[in-house]
């Protein structure tokens, strides 16, 4: 598993927590930052997934 997939998943989790806290506190900025973190994490996870697929093709799996 590529390190980008791990980091991306962590960002998604962090973003969900941040969004939830922002929602509970009524902090729209924090809620929006949480959503942005989730998007960034999903993109990073997709990049890591693509890297993994390239490695599989190169290795002939």
61 has a pLDDT exceeding 80: no
| Average pLDDT, integer, range 18-39 | 98
* pTM score: 0.86
Domain of residue 49 covers 3-59
> Phi and psi (nearest 5°) for 18?
-65, -40
Look at residues 44, 33, 36 and name the one whose alpha carbon lies nearest to residue 9.
44
Number of domains in the chain: 1
């Amino acid at each position: 598993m590529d390190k980008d997939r791990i980091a991306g998943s962590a960002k998604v989790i962090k973003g969900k927590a941040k969004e939830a806290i922002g929602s509970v506190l009524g902090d729209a900025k924090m809620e929006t930052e949480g959503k942005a973190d989730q998007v960034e994490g999903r993109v990073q996870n997709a990049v890591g997934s693509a890297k993994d697929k390239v490695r599989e093709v190169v290795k002939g799996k």
